[in-house]
Homo-oligomer: A and B are copies of this chain.
Amino acid sequence: MRRPQIAVALVHHPVCDRRGDIITTAVTNLDLHDIARTCRTYNVGRYYVVTPVAEQKRLVQRLLDHWCKGYGATHNPARRDALELIEVVDGLDDARNAWQKVCGRPVTPVLTGARSSDGIGYRHCREMADELPLLLVFGTGSGLAPRLFEQGWPVLDPIHGGGEYNHLSVRAAVAIIIDRLLAANDRAAEEINQNT
């Protein structure tokens, strides 16, 4: 069985603010680093940072140049190995097209969010990933814009920790979801993969 082809997209537009208005969030340094390190740990193929803002794109590129080509690359190669996964794109369609080009076949976006009520389970999503390249889509701010949920794309079940509180950071949500879908080489993962 070949390794699942999964990429991550972190969307800065269109997303909601806490009142539900559509906004564009700023790219944060730590979202780049943390999520790239998670992706690298689990052999995620690409990490698309989605922002239409030219100034933000330049900022990310400057950071990537430092860590992937500049002083940072020799000072901390582990950081370079992670950040090399990042590609900055204007919109979610561009992320999907880019990942499709890498995979050489159609890619299915899988949306994530804290509020979806009729999502697909993690087992189902793992089975999908065995068959199709996936693009896992995460929203910043207060989550992906409603219009993204009207495309007919599958939506992953929200993470429930056991209570009503559903305010995980996007960095934690990415880590947990990637682990549930891709953990492969330790005992916990063996348990999951053998039994489900």
Query: Chain A interface (Cβ within 8 Å of chain B)?
Result: 3, 30, 33-34, 37-38, 40-43, 78-79, 81-82, 121-123, 157-163, 165-169, 171-176, 178-180, 182-189, 191-192, 195-196
User: Which residue of B has the minimal Cβ distance to A18?
Assistant: B76
Copy tally for this chain in the complex stands at 2
Q: What is the distance, in angstroms, from A91's C-beta to the closest C-beta of chain B? A: 26
Q: What is the distance, in angstroms, from A94's C-beta to the closest C-beta of chain B? A: 26
Other-chain contact of A157, B42, B82, B180, B188 (Cβ < 8 Å):
B188
In the assembled complex, the Cα of A102 lies from the Cα of B29 at a distance in Å of: 37
Q: What is the distance, in angstroms, from A148's C-beta to the closest C-beta of chain B? A: 21
- The 28 listed contacts between A and B (C-beta, < 8 Å) are A34-B172, A40-B165, A41-B163, A41-B166, A41-B172, A42-B161, A43-B161, A43-B162, A78-B165, A78-B167, A79-B167, A81-B165, A121-B186, A123-B187, A159-B183, A160-B186, A161-B183, A161-B184, A162-B183, A162-B185, A171-B172, A175-B175, A179-B180, A191-B192, A191-B196, A192-B192, A192-B196, A195-B196
In the assembled complex, the Cα of A166 lies from the Cα of B137 at a distance in Å of: 24
Q: What is the distance, in angstroms, from A11's C-beta to the closest C-beta of chain B? A: 19
Give chain B residues whose Cβ lies under 8 Å from the Cβ of A38: 168-169, 172
